[in-house]
Amino acid sequence: MIKTLIIVGIIYLGILVSFTMLTRTREKDSKSYFMAGSNLGAFLGLFTFAATLFSTFTLLGMPDFFRVHGVGAWIFLAVSDIVMVFGLLWVGYYLRKKTSGYQYLGMSGFMERCYESRTAGLVAFLGAFIFLVPYVAIQIRGVSIFLQEAFPQSLPVWVYSVCIVIIMLIYSEIGGLKAIIYSDVLQGIVLLVVIWIIGFLCLKDVGGVTQMFTTIGEQNEALLSTPGPNGLFNFQFLLGSMVAICMIPFTQPQVSTRLIIMKDQKALFRTAIGLGTFAILVILPTVFLGMYGAIKYPDATTSEFLGNTLIHDQPGVLGAFVIIGLIAAAISTADSQIFALGGETRSLMSGEDRTMVGRARLSIVVFAVLSFVFAIMSSDELVLLARASFAGTSLLAPMIFTGIFYDQSARLKALPILTLVAIIILVCSNFGLIGSMFLGIRMDLLLLGLLSVIAVILVQVDKSKEA
């Protein structure tokens, strides 16, 4: 396998270098560097959305989620993702309309403009920063612990993490968003092909769909329904997850940037349809992987299960592709997020464009280093950490939606401040400083609900004053 891994790795790196060189521009202005020229067609759009959304979390986290918590994971992610795609179609149109004729560089700058308030921009930035850095970190950590499991006695986790961060930084710093988008196409295809091959082999190994679920029914029947063996997939968890996931295109800057830079509405619509199809295609084989794990490795740790299922139980050549596919998946998501944070930084700065781009590029390095540190410290609960990230950024949704839909949002200065308070409360809750439930309701769901109600009240009060 090592020989194949080296060959495949060199080919992969060679393609990445080629993309970087092809997309490299001497003049690095904000529009070309951070927004890739704002002329994205449906094909590139689909794969860059897909590679950004479906990542280590999908390839490593979801099989483990199915293995431990059962088939309800399909509702948790696949159904939520397709509802999100419909939201992309619905609200995405209005976001693009609102930003047309304005040089959009990031949601933070856009919020600053909508609310005519520096605070609003800073709150949008802070929300993205606090909850995206851990999300980037889990991509890096996920692959690093997987590599260590695949090659025990080789390198420590932090060395793998450093290598991933360096590769990611080199090509995104040189080529900008365009290089990331082109590499996303490669990474999206690799992810889809690899996961289907392994999914098919695992399914075959356990005797097909019927036999697989019959065996699981005999071993652990609770995996075949909600809320699952540990009771995770209850109403509140599923609802909170769906709401948080649906907000991603508007609250996570790496996705909203892609929405804005689509060439036209038709390209966005085609991308949305493709993305929904991709979601089903990429999540379905993770069911097979998870159920295979539930049969063969019911009591194994996450890394043991993943190492065995994805590498040791597969033919050597395939194992090499899995490793490259995983690295590709992690890099494609992590670089987009880190880069988007750079874009958010740029959107808050004013001054000579070239200088500001330079500073924003420097901030990308800082964010990458912070993510690396977090990756070393974070836990192995990939999906739950990702969910915490989705839930955290979703708190920005009431402020962002009000900015998009209400033309007089500049008069609602209290909303950004209340959003900040909600973010602080959720962070305290995540760190265990205060409870995760209040009056029997999950804290993330409660805060989002309260912010949404407050936003509606503020708009109505403002409208009545005007009348």
Partner 1 sequence: MNRKTIWTLCRVAVLILVILTFTPLFTPQNQADPFLWGMPYTLWMGLILSFLLLALTVLGSLVHPGRKKEDN
Neighbouring residues of 407: CB distance < 8 A, sequence distance ≥ 6: none
31 forms part of the interface with partner 1 (CB under 8 A): no
Q: Which stretch, 69-77, 103-111, 194-202, 434-442, contacts partner 1 (CB under 8 A)?
A: 69-77
Assess 97 for contact with partner 1 (CB under 8 A): yes
Strand pairing class (437-438; 441-442) = antiparallel
Helix or strand run (H / E) with residue 437: strand 437-438
Nearer to partner 1, 270 or 413 (CB): 270
Rounded to the nearest 10 degrees, the angle between the axes of helix 2-23 and helix 316-348 is 30
Q: Among 9, 93, 304, 449, which residue interacts with partner 1 (rule: CB under 8 A)?
A: 93
Query: Judged by CB under 8 A, which of 238, 261, 397, 423 binds partner 1?
Result: 238
Is position 166 an interface residue for partner 1 (rule: CB under 8 A)? no
Q: Is 71 in the site for partner 1 (CB under 8 A)?
A: yes
The CA-atom distances, in angstroms, between 202 and each of 35, 63, 141, 292, 311 are 40, 12, 25, 6, 12
Cβ neighbours around 405 below 10 Å, total: 14
- State in Å, rounded, how far the first CA of the chain is from the last one: 72
We find the least distance from the C-beta atom of residue 228 to partner 1, in angstroms, to be 10
Least Å distance, CB 83 to partner 1, is 6
394 part of the interface to partner 1, by CB under 8 A = no
16-24, 70-78, 300-308, 409-417 -> range binding partner 1 (CB under 8 A): 70-78
Among 192, 212, 320, 426, which residue interacts with partner 1 (rule: CB under 8 A)? 212
Q: Rule CB under 8 A: choose which of 153, 210, 350, 464 binds partner 1.
A: 210
Is the Cβ of residue 268 or residue 356 nearer to partner 1 in the bound state?
A: 268
* Residue for token pair 């305290």: 428
Our finding on whether 90 is near partner 1 (CB under 8 A) is: yes
The contacts of residue 191 (CB under 8 Å, 6+ apart) are 50, 51, 54, 58, 59, 282, 325, 328, 329, 332
H or E segment and range at residue 277: helix 265-296
In this structure, the dihedral spanned by the alpha carbons of residues 52, 231, 222 and 74, taken in order and rounded to 10 degrees, is -20
Q: Is 196 in the site for partner 1 (CB under 8 A)?
A: no
- When asked if residue 49 is in the footprint of partner 1 (CB under 8 A), the reply is no
The token pair at 236 is: 């509140």
Site residues (vs partner 1, CB under 8 A): 71-72, 74-75, 78-79, 82-83, 85-86, 89-90, 93, 97, 208-214, 217, 221-222, 224-227, 233, 235, 238-239, 242, 264-266, 269-270, 272-273, 276-277, 279-280, 287
